Amino acid sequence: MKQKAPSGTLRRCLREVGNHKILVALSLLFAAAEVFFTLYTPLLFGQAVDRIIGVAKTDVSLVDRPLITAAAMTAACAVAAWLTGSLNNRMACRTVQSLRDGLYAKINTLPLSYLDSHPTGETVSRMSSDIDRFADGLLLGATQLFSGVLTIAGTLVFMLRMNVPITAAVVVLTPVSLFAAKLIAGRTYGFFSDQSNLRADQTALINETAGNLKTLRAFHRQGRYLGKFDALNDTLKKVSLKAVFWSSITNPVTRFVNSLVYAAVALVGAFTAISSGGAFTVGMLTAMLNYADKYTKPFNEISGVAAELQNALACAARVFEMLDAADEAPDGDLTPETVNGNVEISEVCFSYDKSKKLIEDFNLSVKQGQKIAIVGPTGCGKTTFINLLMRFYDTDAGTIAVDGVEIRQMKRRALRSRYGMVLQETWLNPGTIRENIAFGKEDASDEEIVAAAKRAHSWSFIKRLPQGLDTVIGEDGGSLSEGQKQLLCITRVMLCLPPMLILDEATSSIDTRTELRIQKAFDEMMTGRTSFIVAHRLSTILGADRILVMDKGRIIEQGTHEELLAKNGFYTKLFNSQFA
């Protein structure tokens, strides 16, 4: 199970870090200073040892100077280490901030097809846990990797100046440690990659369960979802254990090899000190043993960093995959000053899955102020048609024009601001009632908001809330009922009064008496405005100027209510199924 990070992942990580050049330069500078102070100290201790060896030969005045210098360098090393850690923390935090900003901005440019095909929990996982783990690996790598490499190189320089044969013994054994670390690191990436993917699946399942808990309990499906979670959690446990096992054995293996290096230095150094006739002193042997320890220690740290970096690279690859996802089709350039609401749809074809046809050769001409109702069985393409009108999806073929302008030539903001849309699924954000109603018109006065609420028949319950318009509601409406949430969404559109309306089962969660009142308000609002009404309850569209009956992505019948009943076709069967 040997996997590698996608080509260029590491290079891209370095490029992200490179955006903070000043912090990187200062970090490298202080890390180099820390390494220098660390490596120079053994020489001073070696000098001190040489000056106290021998009976009655100790000269304290000669020992003081190297020890005082060593103490000063140790203090300077501590300061450099603190500065390096502080700079690395700041660099990692800024990199994470930049990536999160980029991901959040990316979400707003991704096509809905991407968001529809990826679970919400997976997207959240990439923005939260994956970036956090990437930051941990980045911080660990920045803190230890450079210092470790510099320590190894600097140690070899100091050792070569003191004794070449001993240094050669160290260098000969080094590849064994490197080979062991590389072999293990190559296996850990695959496990960490699977771990990240499984963690995203788990987040998606938790998100799905928490968001639909009422439905699960209503259908007694808690056991089934507990089983799915247990199976997923068990798989994640097994993969995580493998990842931890392989990443954990790196350190013991390299420690064993490093112990061999230390023993070789001690053995060769002892014989050299005995046979050199004073050319290689005990103090120099002390320094060499100290250097051997400092030389091998970074290999332990780097091996641990390598395993952690594999995890970081796996998470970074998932983040970059989302950042590199194709944006939605380019925006248009036109912003019409006025929109009357004439819509021309010509030979439109569209399907979510290109292997399965949905809408084919769809043609429709709508004049300003017309009320168009769309009915048909589930899956016939009603909501898809709305998605195409709003340009949430682009057509595969054919054109949709508003007042003679093809919608792909218009700015999306200009197009969508001309529509007021109320869907069967409500959307309310955490905040006050006032903020939710004024979501599409932020400069609206309280008088305008209250007037819109009265027209939408939501004022009766709003004024009974503890703080009225200032009442704070939680995510997705908090404790409000489904009907109250839908009334707020209707109020939001009543406040904006755009030139075109889209109502997709807009009163599905509202009681019959309130629906009749809102229907009157809708009729007033739709006067002079082009309106598209998607409905399953045919009682809500009896007064439509034209009713489109869709089946399998095609318009199979169209006309007024009376004309369609006279045809005694598909619409008549739908009508009789509800009212017979």
Provide CB contacts within 8 A for 106, sequence distance 6+.
Answer: 322, 323, 325
Query: CA-based angle 410:415:420, to the nearest 5?
Result: 175
Q: Higher-confidence residue: 335 or 276?
A: 335
Nearest to 189 by CA among 29, 6, 349, 36: 6
Q: What is the pLDDT of residue 579?
A: 67
Band of residue 570 on the pLDDT scale cut at 50, 70, 90: confident
Band of residue 55 on the pLDDT scale cut at 50, 70, 90: very low
Query: Among all chains, which residue has been given the structure tokens 């590491």?
Result: 10
Query: Among all chains, which residue has been given the structure tokens 């901005």?
Result: 105
Q: Does residue 520 carry a pLDDT above 80? A: no
> How large is the average pLDDT for residues 245-268?
76
Band of residue 1 on the pLDDT scale cut at 50, 70, 90: very low
Q: Higher-confidence residue: 7 or 404?
A: 404
Across 135-144, 304-313, 365-374, 504-513, the highest mean pLDDT is recorded for 365-374
Q: Higher-confidence residue: 259 or 450?
A: 450
> How large is the average pLDDT for residues 504-531?
74
Domain with CATH 1.20.1560.10 in the chain: 9-323
Percent of residues, the chain, with pLDDT higher than 70:
90
Indicate the average pLDDT of the chain. 81
Q: What is the pLDDT of residue 54?
A: 53
| pLDDT per residue as tens digits for the range 162-176 | 888 878 877 777 767
Q: Does residue 143 carry a pLDDT above 70? A: no
Nearest to 414 by CA among 385, 390, 441, 434: 390
> How large is the average pLDDT for residues 20-41?
86
| pLDDT per residue as tens digits for the range 441-483 | 888 888 999 998 888 888 888 888 888 888 888 777 777 887 7
Instruction: Write the CATH number of the domain with boundaries 343-579.
Output: 3.40.50.300
- CATH top-level class of 9-323: mainly alpha
Q: What is the pLDDT of residue 79?
A: 92
Query: Among all chains, which residue has been given the structure tokens 């919608």?
Result: 407
Write out the E strands in 514-565: 530-534, 546-551, 554-559
Q: Higher-confidence residue: 122 or 220?
A: 122
Dihedral sign computed on CA atoms, order 226, 229, 233, 235: positive
Nearest to 315 by CA among 156, 437, 135: 135
> How large is the average pLDDT for residues 425-445?
85
> How large is the average pLDDT for residues 344-349?
89
Q: Does residue 110 carry a pLDDT above 50? A: yes
Query: CA-based angle 554:559:565, to the nearest 5?
Result: 105
> How large is the average pLDDT for residues 478-500?
83
> How large is the average pLDDT for residues 271-283?
75
3-state secondary structure of 575: helix
| pLDDT per residue as tens digits for the range 183-202 | 766 667 677 778 878 887 88
Q: Backbone phi, then psi, for 443, in 5-degree steps?
A: -90, 10
Q: Does residue 554 carry a pLDDT above 60? A: yes
Domain with CATH 3.40.50.300 in the chain: 343-579
Provide CB contacts within 8 A for 270, sequence distance 6+.
Answer: 285
| pLDDT per residue as tens digits for the range 298-313 | 776 766 676 677 778 8
> How large is the average pLDDT for residues 26-35?
87
Query: Based on C-alpha coordinates, what's the Rg of the chain?
Result: 36
Cα 90 to Cα 40, 113, 145, 530, distances in angstroms: 29, 37, 17, 55
Query: Is the pTM higher than 0.75?
Result: no
Q: Does residue 32 carry a pLDDT above 50? A: yes
